Chains A and B, each alone.
Chain A
């Protein structure tokens, strides 16, 4: 666009909606501290089990999903909305499409967060990581996301800038891909107002879930943040991005490749091998575009390194981009099958995740806020010294976190696989491998405290910054001018230039880029009739077992226990026969898990007598000295909901589970009969018959069924 070509009368006046950016900034700070407080609490719970307090709402199994959801969707979510709304308006020279939609977006999202926290505390969980929220909240998320999308694309339509800067591309990819991921992974049939079953089962559910789960990292924690990086880093150093050309290569290769990488969460599982290998190969390829972006971000700071030493904003941004580089090196490394064989299910993965979410996300948000808050409130940062103190506290805390998790993960992984000269497990007792790493849990918790402390210091620093701003100036809307879009239309270019000038066409291409990988990996599971060889030996769960399974999901057992024996000698020795795809056809949702804080449970059925489980849930240390598992005393007081079982079975039947009508009609009675048998079996050990309708009996029924259809006895 040449300025001379635009005559003065085509200039339009407008103002930016910065109030909504301020609202999202406050929400970022509040939810950030909440997410980190939960993180610190659950870190201490692993170091000392007594911190579960024997209260059902405070157990690790329920709090861990709150921590992850709060960190991702509440803290990072509000941060990206703040950054996207600030930068989009300025890049497009237009006020947001609708102030009302902005407000609905803001309050809707906060309401969802509160609903999520309350429902997870109460145990309403979908049992799929980072997608735990039940169906009414899933629908609310979809609606609010649509509000966000309309507001965003509406702003694009009424823009006064012909060209769409690369940050906006990253935002577009985020909006459309998160919508697709969330909707596809959340298709479920309601049983009641807070319970539903996914339409996918077993292997298919696992594939869809980790396609979602990995791309939640990709399109919620990476692409929007890269967009923020491409806007706020140049703004902070007051220089354009190092290479705009590289940013285009970065964008297209990243969105195309990222979507394929999900199956690296399922290496050595019962997922077909070709999907695993595809996921692994694309994960390794992903290293290239990730580092392309990192280099582009870091080199944007060339010539400003003296300021990086002094200014907290730049210091945090430079470190964030460095951690992005480290995490995206570690990720492909962990996705290599032989490395993954050691690292999967251990704390190494937990460390990796936190070098991303703390090192990349928190630090980039901190850098952004140090730039944004003084700008929004038209003042100066209150204290650079506090900013530097925060920086070092957070960095030291994070390094302690990551290194302790490396040590814990590699130690435990090696102990699990150690086999002595006689061909037996060196550490046959799982709890030995746990007790060895408990000191690391203390180090991690201490690192977490430092990170939390740094965040509180930031809140104080920013609060003081806002306080010193003059209220009259801070809220006075500035008036900007720019030529209308119509007056620039003649300058539309050709090829890619034209494409990025046509946001809707661009969006279609971006969607195509992410659909290629999704279709290649997921479609075969829908189309191929023999994707999973069904086995006549695998039968649906009995009504009582199904009730027990839902209690297992409700208490978040999958957070600490996997149900996936991998085809490796050490696993076969420790747990029994490796898993087969056919075993999981009735598992809705699948419960393969991602971390073994306790042992794998796939073959636990029949391994111990019923009474062992009864005593174990009452006091884990009575049967496993040293165990770090919480006590589950309320399972002995709360009654199993027998009345809802008919409904559950009929929903399962509508999904293709072969229950007969007789079973559906009498589900409650059948369950009570089985509960009676189990309770009678334990009567000689002093269990009263009136325990038969308690949740513990249903849970025992489920645990004793696990892995028996194809696994047999050990």
Chain B
């Protein structure tokens, strides 16, 4: 079984499939991150370092 699986790793389809998968994932992440309606959330996030906590 192990050997059969390994032998099939030579298929030229696999690297192409991997490439397509990685690019699709990357583009998906980009689209998600750059959604417009998350502006407010990122505003909160980027300001986190600016606030050390309230001081007495």
Which of B38, B47, B56 is in CB contact (< 8 Å) with A240? Answer: B47
Given contacts A13-B56, A480-B55, A497-B41, contact A87 B33 (CB under 8 A): no
Q: Is B49 touching A249 in the complex (CB atoms < 8 A)? A: no
Q: Contacts of A53 on B, CB cut-off 8 Å?
A: none
Contact stretch, chosen from A161-169, A209-217, A302-310, A555-563: A161-169
Given known pairs A1-B44, A163-B45, A493-B41, the reply for A249 and B53 (CB within 8 Å) is no
**Residue B48 at the chain A interface, CB threshold 8 Å:** yes
Q: A245-B42, A249-B29, A496-B33 are in contact. Are A231 and B53 (CB under 8 A)?
A: no
Interface string of A155-179 (1 = CB under 8 A from B): 0000011010111000000000000
CA distance A231 to B6 in the complex (A): 45
Tell whether, in the assembled complex, residue A495 and residue B32 are in contact, meaning their CB atoms are under 8 Å apart: yes
A40-99 residues at the B interface, CB under 8 angstroms: 87, 90-91, 93
**Inside 8 A of A160's CB, which chain B residues have their CB?**
53
* Cross-chain contact B45 with A479 (CB below 8 angstroms): no
Q: Is A482 an interface residue (CB 8 A)?
A: yes
Contact B49 A248 (CB under 8 A): no
CA separation between A479 and B47, bound complex, in Å?
Answer: 21
Given A495-B32, A527-B2, A244–B49 Cβ distance below 8 Å?
Answer: no
Once the chains bind, are A91 and B49 in contact (CB under 8 Å)? yes
A624: Cβ under 8 A from any B Cβ? no
Render A1-19 as a binary contact track against B, CB cut-off 8 A, 1 for contact. Answer: 1000000000101100000
Nearest residue (CB) in A for B26 is A253
B27 to chain A, nearest CB (A): 11
Q: How far is the CA of A480 from the CA of B32 in the complex (A)?
A: 35
The CA of A235 and the CA of B26, in the complex, are separated in Å by 30
Bound complex: CA A11 to CA B53 (Å): 10
Q: Is B54 a contact of A167 with CB atoms below 8 Å?
A: no
B residues in contact with A136, CB < 8 Å = none
- B15, chain A: closest CB distance, angstroms: 10
Contact B49 A165 (CB under 8 A): yes
- When distances are taken between beta carbons in the complex, the residues of chain A under 8 Å from B54 are 11, 480-482
Q: Which residues of B have CB within 8 Å of A249?
A: 29-30, 33
Residue pair A90, B33 in contact (C-beta under 8 Å): no
Interface flags for B1-42 (1: CB within 8 Å of A; 0: not) read: 011001001000000000000000010011011100010011
Q: Given the known inter-chain contacts A90-B49, A167-B49, A234-B49, please indicate yes or no for A481 contacting B56, CB distance below 8 A.
A: yes
Tell me which of B30, B32, B45, B53 contacts A244 (CB under 8 A).
B45
Partner of B44, one of A163, A235, A245: A163
- Residue ID in chain B nearest A529 by CB atoms: B3
Q: Report the contact-size class of chain B (Cβ under 8 Å from the partner).
A: 20 to 34
Q: For chain A, which range describes its interface: under 10, 10 to 19, 20 to 34, or 35 or more residues?
A: 35 or more
Whether the Cβ atoms of B33 and A234 lie closer than 8 Å is no
Contacts A90-B53, A480-B55, A481-B56 hold; do A496 and B32 have CB atoms under 8 A apart?
A: yes
User: Chain A contacts of B38 at CB under 8 A?
Assistant: 497
Nearest CB of chain B from residue A93's CB, rounded to whole Å = 5
- Is A622 in the interface zone, CB < 8 Å from B? no
List of B residues within 8 angstroms of A528 by Cβ: 6
Contacts of A481 in B (CB 8 A): 53-56
B34 to chain A, nearest CB (A): 6
Instruction: List A483-507 residues whose CB lies under 8 Å from chain B.
Output: 493, 495-497
- The docked-state distance in angstroms from the alpha carbon of A527 to that of B7 is 11
Residues of B within 8 Å of A497, CB to CB, are 38, 41
Q: A480-B55, A481-B53 are in contact. Are A252 and B29 (CB under 8 A)?
A: yes
User: Closest CB-CB distance, B49 to chain A, in whole Å?
Assistant: 5
Q: Does A478 interact with chain B (Cβ within 8 Å)? A: yes
Cβ B41 vs Cβ A479 within 8 A: no
Chain A residues closer than 8 Å to B6, beta-carbon distance: 524, 527-528
User: A residues within 8 A CB of B42?
Assistant: 244-245
Residues on A with beta carbons closer than 8 Å to the beta carbon of B56: 13, 479-481
Contacts of B50 in A (CB 8 A): 234-235, 238, 240
Q: B53 to chain A: which residues have CB within 8 Å?
A: 14, 90, 93, 160, 480-482
With a cutoff of 8 Å between Cβ atoms, the chain B residues found around residue A166 in the complex are: 45
A90–B48 CA distance with the chains assembled, in angstroms = 9
For window 383-409 of A, CB contacts with B under 8 Å fall at none
Chain A, 557-604, CB within 8 A of any chain B CB:
none
| Partner among B9, B33, B45, B52 whose Cβ is within 8 Å of the Cβ of A480 | B52
* A241 interfacial contact with B, CB 8 Å: yes
CB pair A235–B55 under 8 Å, yes or no, is no
Assembled-state Cα–Cα distance A482/B9 (Å): 54
Q: Which residue of A lies closest to B39 (CB)?
A: A245
Q: How far is the CA of A90 from the CA of B55 in the complex (A)?
A: 12
In the complex the two chains form, what is the Cα distance from A161 to B49 in whole Å? 11
A235 to B50, CA, bound (A): 7
* Nearest-Cβ distance from residue A322 to partner chain B, whole angstroms: 22
- Take A1-B44, A252-B29, A496-B33 as given contacts and tell me if A478 and B49 are in contact as well, using a CB distance cutoff of 8 Å: no
Residue among B2, B6, B44, B52 with most chain A CB within 10 A? B52
Q: Cβ of B49 and Cβ of A231 under 8 Å apart?
A: yes
Q: Report the Cα distance A15→B40, complex, angstroms.
A: 29
Complex Cα distance, B53 from A479, in Å, reads 9
The smallest C-beta distance from A683 to any residue of chain B, in angstroms, reads 55
Which residue of the partner chain B has the closest CB to A481? B54
- Cα distance A706–B45 in the bound complex, in angstroms: 58
Report the minimal beta-carbon distance from A163 to chain B, rounded to whole angstroms: 6
Given A497-B41, A528-B6: A165 and B48 interface contact (C-beta under 8 Å): yes
A7 CB, min distance to chain B CBs, angstroms: 14
Query: Most chain-A CB neighbours within 10 Å: which of B9, B46, B53?
Result: B53
**Residues of B contacting A93 in the complex (Cβ-Cβ under 8 angstroms):** 53
Say how far A368's CB is from chain B's closest CB, in angstroms. 13
Contact call A240/B30, Cβ cutoff below 8 A = no
Task: Specify which of B3, B44, B48 is in contact with A91 (CB 8 Å cutoff).
Answer: B48
A244 to chain B: which residues have CB within 8 Å? 42, 45-46
Q: What are 21 A-B interface contacts by the 8 Å CB criterion?
A: A13-B56, A14-B53, A87-B49, A91-B49, A93-B53, A160-B53, A165-B45, A240-B50, A244-B42, A245-B42, A248-B29, A249-B29, A249-B30, A479-B56, A480-B54, A481-B54, A481-B56, A495-B32, A524-B6, A524-B9, A527-B6
Q: Which chain B residues have a beta carbon within 8 Å of chain A's beta carbons?
A: 2-3, 6, 9, 26, 29-30, 32-34, 38, 41-42, 44-50, 52-56
Nearest 10 A-B pairs (CB), nearest first?
Answer: A480-B53, A240-B46, A244-B46, A481-B54, A165-B48, A244-B42, A482-B53, A479-B56, A93-B53, A90-B52
